[in-house]
């Protein structure tokens, strides 16, 4: 077959549990320990533990991020789930097999969680759009009677049309000033509030400077409508229709949320699972900062990674186990794995020299020659024995 792929294990645990952990590793029969270091005796091991500290911190950050996302999903779907009184029915519980099933389908659960985030994002977008439309409607209502499209306001060849707001008490004074100064201008009231008047003012281009001075004198504020097209009434109706559509979209989002509500239980299961993992990592991080730890470096076949990890976790939860791929220049043990026909000849390779761990296992190619040569040797030995027996009998 081939040379077995190896993994390098780094383990950090409590000194008080060292013997139990080593015993568990020994029972697996697949681990080759290359170094055991106690915290106060470490030299270059401090660098390794600094790396572990960094990795534990990063894992905690990742777990906190997952927990935050799951908590958001749980809270988001809460209004759409039928509430059950835990005092009467008790809290939901699952067994180990059910938990394993949820963990194996975690990717699908996280896809559902992403769908929840997408729905929430859409809700936020609709809320922002709704607020903008409501503000726009409120702004345009005083101008609703204006029958000129907003994009047509401004200068024509000889006339300027503007919308302006002025104090109610200044409305009469403004018209008097127009008459007194003989300005070619007019004013039309479009709407009123308690304190202000909303007007359309039009005047000849030749009187622009005089009109600007009059605006300043009477505190007239010019109202612009950048980016808006159509009459105010038309824009208001379009905005109101869009507000109705937004409400319908909200209802659709509620329906979609109800369809996802049965996934809330899986969010809760993962949340509880990762909460335990976070607490375990936090405890381990605190332990890693003390002098009561030991570390192990060891080699093991890649296929036994899960077995070794599970056996260690059976002993204690307060342990950090990391499996890594060896670097290109790192020396590692060589383990051969061949079929029953080739396996007996591995001893010959091991007797002389094992292949490079990153090379090719020669046993498969050499097995036919070994078989023939050993057959010849055995046949010669058998022939010799028979001749010896016959000769002894004759003599």
More confident residue, 216 or 331: 216
Over residues 103-111, mean pLDDT: 88
More confident residue, 107 or 51: 107
Residues 298 and 341 in one domain: no
Q: Print the domain residue range for 281.
A: 1-144+233-327
Residue 393 has a pLDDT of 56
Query: In this model, does residue 190 exceed pLDDT 80?
Result: yes
End position of a domain, from candidates 163, 193, 224: 224
pLDDT digits (tens, 9 = 90+) for 77-100: 999 887 654 444 445 677 777 788
Is residue 5 domain-resident? yes
Is residue 149 domain-resident? no
Over residues 317-329, mean pLDDT: 80
More confident residue, 286 or 296: 296
Query: In this model, does residue 119 exceed pLDDT 90?
Result: yes
Average pLDDT of the chain? 80
For the ranges 70-79, 147-156, 358-367, which has the lowest average pLDDT? 358-367
Over residues 129-144, mean pLDDT: 95
Residues 94 and 195 in one domain: no
Query: In this model, does residue 286 exceed pLDDT 50?
Result: yes
Residues 50 and 130 in one domain: yes
Is residue 238 domain-resident? yes
Query: In this model, does residue 231 exceed pLDDT 90?
Result: yes
Is residue 89 domain-resident? yes
Query: For residues 182 and 212, what is the distance between their CA atoms, to the nearest angstrom?
Result: 15
CATH code for position 218: 3.30.70.100
What is the number of structural domains in the chain? 3
Q: How many CA atoms lie within 13 A of 58 on its CB side?
A: 6
The 10 Å Cβ neighbour count of residue 301 is 18
Residues 30 and 132 in one domain: yes
Chain-centroid distance, C-alpha 163: 51
Residues 262 and 220 in one domain: no
Query: Which H/E stretch holds residue 195?
Result: none
Residues 138 and 71 in one domain: yes
Residue 350 has a pLDDT of 53
Contact criterion met (CB below 8 Å) for 49 and 332: no
Q: Can you say whether the dihedral through the CA atoms of 308, 309, 315, 321 is positive or negative?
A: positive
Over residues 38-62, mean pLDDT: 65
Is residue 352 domain-resident? yes
Residue 372 has a pLDDT of 52
Residues 10 and 124 in one domain: yes
Is residue 267 domain-resident? yes
pLDDT digits (tens, 9 = 90+) for 350-392: 555 555 455 554 544 454 545 455 555 555 555 555 556 666 5
End position of a domain, from candidates 277, 307, 327: 327
Residues 102 and 170 in one domain: no
Over residues 124-151, mean pLDDT: 94
Residue 351 has a pLDDT of 52
Q: pLDDT class for 129, splitting at 50, 70, 90?
A: very high
Query: For residues 10 and 8, what is the distance between their CA atoms, to the nearest angstrom?
Result: 7
Residue 83 has a pLDDT of 66
More confident residue, 263 or 86: 263
Q: pLDDT class for 202, splitting at 50, 70, 90?
A: very high
Residues 58 and 139 in one domain: yes
Query: For residues 139 and 152, what is the distance between their CA atoms, to the nearest angstrom?
Result: 18
End position of a domain, from candidates 224, 247, 277: 224
More confident residue, 362 or 263: 263
Q: Can you say whether the dihedral through the CA atoms of 128, 129, 134, 135 is positive or negative?
A: positive
Over residues 123-146, mean pLDDT: 95
Query: Which H/E stretch holds residue 159?
Result: strand 159-167
What percent of the chain is predicted at pLDDT more than 70?
A: 73
Q: pLDDT class for 53, splitting at 50, 70, 90?
A: confident
Over residues 88-115, mean pLDDT: 79
Residues 171 and 290 in one domain: no
Is residue 181 domain-resident? yes
Query: For residues 123 and 329, what is the distance between their CA atoms, to the nearest angstrom?
Result: 54
Residue 49 has a pLDDT of 58
More confident residue, 237 or 391: 237
Residue 87 has a pLDDT of 44
Query: For residues 219 and 160, what is the distance between their CA atoms, to the nearest angstrom?
Result: 19
Query: In this model, does residue 338 exceed pLDDT 50?
Result: yes
Q: How many CA atoms lie within 13 A of 238 on its CB side?
A: 10
More confident residue, 106 or 339: 106
Residues 40 and 129 in one domain: yes
Is residue 322 domain-resident? yes
Residues 129 and 74 in one domain: yes
- How would you classify the pairing of strands 6-14 and 319-324? antiparallel
């Amino acid at each position: 077959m081939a040379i077995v792929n190896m993994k390098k294990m780094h383990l950090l645990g409590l000194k008080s549990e060292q013997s139990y952990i080593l015993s568990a590793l020994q029972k697996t029969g697949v681990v080759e320990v290359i170094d055991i270091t106690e915290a106060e005796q470490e030299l270059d091991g401090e660098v390794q533990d600094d790396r572990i500290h960094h990795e534990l911190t990063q894992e905690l950050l990742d777990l906190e991020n997952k927990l935050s996302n799951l908590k958001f999903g749980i809270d988001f779907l809460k209004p759409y789930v039928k509430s059950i009184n835990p005092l009467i029915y008790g809290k939901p519980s699952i067994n180990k097999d059910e938990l394993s099933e949820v963990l194996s389908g975690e990717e699908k659960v996280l896809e559902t969680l992403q769908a929840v985030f997408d729905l929430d994002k859409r809700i936020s977008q609709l809320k922002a759009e709704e607020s903008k439309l409501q503000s726009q409607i409120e702004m345009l209502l005083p101008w609703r009677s204006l029958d000129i499209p907003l994009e047509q306001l401004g200068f024509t060849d000889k006339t300027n049309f503007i919308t302006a707001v002025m104090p109610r008490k200044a409305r009469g004074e403004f018209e008097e000033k127009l008459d007194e100064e003989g300005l070619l201008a007019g004013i039309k009231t479009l709407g009123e509030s308690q304190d202000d008047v909303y007007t359309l003012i039009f005047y000849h281009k030749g009187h622009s400077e005089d009109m600007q001075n009059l605006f300043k004198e009477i505190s007239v504020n010019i109202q612009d409508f950048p980016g808006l097209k159509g009459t105010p009434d038309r824009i208001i109706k379009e905005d109101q229709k869009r507000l109705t559509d937004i409400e319908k979209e909200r209802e659709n989002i509620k329906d979609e949320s109800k369809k996802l509500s049965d996934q809330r239980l899986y969010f809760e299961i993962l949340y509880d699972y990762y909460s335990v993992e976070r607490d375990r990592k936090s405890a381990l991080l605190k332990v890693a900062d003390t002098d009561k730890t030991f570390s192990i470096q060891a080699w093991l076949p890649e296929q036994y990674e899960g077995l070794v990890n599970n056996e260690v976790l059976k002993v204690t939860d307060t342990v950090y186990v990391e499996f890594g791929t060896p670097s290109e220049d790192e020396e590692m043990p060589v383990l051969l794995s061949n079929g029953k026909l080739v396996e007996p000849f591995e001893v010959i390779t091991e007797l002389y020299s094992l292949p490079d761990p990153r090379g090719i296992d020669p046993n498969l190619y050499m097995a036919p020659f070994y078989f023939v040569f050993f057959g010849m040797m055995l046949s010669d030995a058998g022939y010799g024995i028979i001749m010896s027996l016959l000769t002894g009998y004759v003599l």
